[in-house]
Amino acid sequence: MAHKLPRKSTNVDMTAMCDVAFLLLTFFMLATKFKPAEPVVVRTPTSVANVPQPDNSILITIDKDGKMYMDFDNKDAKVDLINKVNTEKNLGLSEAEKQSFITGSAIGASFANLKSFLALSADERKKFPELGIPCDTTFAPETNELAYWVYNARMAGVNSKLAKQPLICIKCDAGLHYPGFKNLMRVLTKNEIFQFNLLTNVEQVPEGTALYNDRVLGTNKK
């Protein structure tokens, strides 16, 4: 008569699994970078383009009233940029205010009001009474504040660790009238900036178009 071997009971220890899950959660919490709140919310027009905003880009935002804001995603370059601006414009910024510029969202204030603007929280900036970077018709960086920011941000981007020319990205509110956009275009072209990206909301490619055949079906039917 054959003897049956006793069954072995297997106890699964979940302690190791919990440790792994906790370590992964901790990693994502520490590694995640939260985007700071913008001082203004714009409703961008839609398009079928699906090219993401590149790294080392200068973002110029224009709200529906034509007020302009600037941000730069290159943190190393922003350190050099704010130090240069603080010295040349004699702003008297504290280290905390400089750090607010480096880690914060887009700036939307004149040089005369920049110190007060940087001292505010993200929510308080939305209520700042004189929002917008001045952009007049002089075009030169010496007299046009937006042109000054863009020129020096580009120089700081080249001198940063990435060592390449930043790309200009423009985000406009869908309700913006053309004259507000035209002022920005004149500033950029007068300073020999002829390449830039327009940021939009992605919409579905219409069926039957050449782009739909190429992107969705993988063939362009002519």
Count of domains in the chain? 1
Q: Is the pLDDT of residue 53 over 70?
A: no
Q: Is residue 29 part of a domain?
A: no
Q: Is residue 66 part of a domain?
A: yes
Q: Is residue 21 part of a domain?
A: no
Q: Is residue 182 part of a domain?
A: yes
CA distance 150 to 182: 16
Residue 13 phi/psi, 5-degree rounding, is: -85, 115
Q: Is residue 215 part of a domain?
A: no
Residue 187 phi/psi, 5-degree rounding, is: -65, -45
pLDDT range class, residue 123, cuts 50, 70, 90: confident
Q: Is the pLDDT of residue 96 over 60?
A: yes
State which residues form the domain around 117.
Answer: 53-202
Q: What pLDDT score does 125 carry?
A: 85
Concatenating the DSSP letter of every residue in 150-214 gives HHHHHHHHHHSTT-SPPEEEEEE-TT--HHHHHHHHHHHHHTT---EEE--EE-PPPTTSHHHHH
pLDDT in tens, 160-206: 877 778 889 999 888 888 888 888 888 888 888 888 888 777 555 55
